[in-house]
Structure 1
């Protein structure tokens, strides 16, 4: 495959959106040629980097309805954001609640903290991959410090009602940490209205930015222990890393070139319209779901009773290993999908697919109805073999 060749039918957008807006590509290219190191001098190259980073910070604050740009912290991805949130928030003796829906970027840091004395409750999901908010509430106890959960499952596409959970955490005076990896950029998120204390996100999925970009929002008045310390460009002679936000959580050189691309992506989302993008992606998802759901041998996972859901369809064909089906789709039709466990082991336990995994299709607004039609026929042919 040559550079810029989009002849492959790409349905792995929940892992990363491969096709980016042209404006993003151009912004990264220009940044590679022009930007210096933000906060490390007063010449034009470093000042331009600082302006770009601040401009992106301001747009993210507006996008997520944060109190101010200073509450937006840049990271390399959602995994780093979640590690900062979890390891910077919890202490031995604290109790934390999470769910079976979670990605390993939530689970593994929580398991590490559990080894250090944090008590962990994992709320179970049903066979459709849904967790009960009532079960979350029942798990709350006096030493509960936080609920940490995803906004949308990367396996089933089920949405979680984070507004309702936020209201509940507000009621009990506990903290609410949200993993928005699958939803930031395609579903509206208002951190203040939804009572979200920490929002973790990545730039390379539905925000349509480059890989190596991500961030977190931290509510005003909430302090986290930094995951890293080191160079900051300010307070050089202090033995301690600066405590003011966002510098407190941003040790080292930021990915200015990637952030320039994220800046352009945010402009694209605003101009194109997040609602329009979501409607297109959901339309393609429903076209695919309706096209394969009655094929003999196909089993689809997740709750499709709700129209509003992430643009994801995961399924299996009979007893075939999901990796085998995914390979056949690529070799026969050049259709790219994601098989296996999707870094969400507890979700697959709930679905009963630990051994088989599942074939995941995830849609972008750059996909077409014709591509979806080809995918439906491919699944039909494979199921008939």
Structure 2
């Protein structure tokens, strides 16, 4: 007797999702609670576990289909996977199987984003070591493999495949001009809508400052080994900036507030949203009550977010709320940016890469110092320019003299 695989409860007020990828195929043996599919909601990707052990039966939906909570997407049948592959749903049978040269490593399970990178760079995914959950490939895996220079291109279409090559099309003088259309994920559609809404609603403005990272870098160098031994986590830069932001938000509460209709809501707590890279894009989990946390608490929380983002196990609750955002584009090499606020929040702090630049010191000498540009984008309807500048000055003071973080100055 077959058991239905249903779309699980997705979270508060979430009634539907998009089928992101099948992690198992018809005829594959599955264990109870083993992930067999990935669903994409407006904020996170969720895995659908097998309700019991057996063999995955016909698939009822295809990648890209929208499914509602409780909908049947497949069945689990009795067996151990040794039987012939189960036939896919009629909907899938109608689609012709892609040629081997068009769909690299068809036996591998690749997310749409990873598949797009594989096709774009013409690499063989079977030669790349996956670091995602259950050894699956992530975008970072493919990008690192390409940058390493060890990638070998796949066989081009129609070349030594045993299949008749299609009629040749005159090539443009500049080379191939291929195009590919890929449906936007539900997460990317939501991000696009929210960012555009922020631009249309808020009076966005960005102010800049720079900060000398010498003191923080010296503090990290001096205490990083002791910190790691005691707390089991590395001492990073985000801990310093999160604690500095808590002090600055206390001094300039408007930056930690939000507009609700004709009212301003001020928060006496600090819930910091931090941008974290995930296989399907950036996600923004929340460090709650950051003002009451130690450096170790902040670093442990961020490290846990990063790991769970990579594994795809972040939940809707992890990203709900937030009163202020910190986005670190410096990890990707960004020198300067104008980040967009995360509604209904009113401000976002952008961090950037550290590089040595000549700085005139108080004694008139010129020294090469490790400098970072800071950017604060804010809603000018609520936050005045004076408040925005004051906030960044408070951040600068705390980072250039970390003792202030200990004595609450």
TM-score over 0.5 (shorter chain): no
Q: Structure 2 length as normaliser, TM-score?
A: 0.28
TM-score, normalising length from structure 1?
0.30
Instruction: Report the structure, 1 or 2, having the larger strand content.
Output: 2
Structure of higher RCO (CA pairs closer than 8 Å, 6+ residues apart): 1
Q: Which has the higher helix share?
A: 1
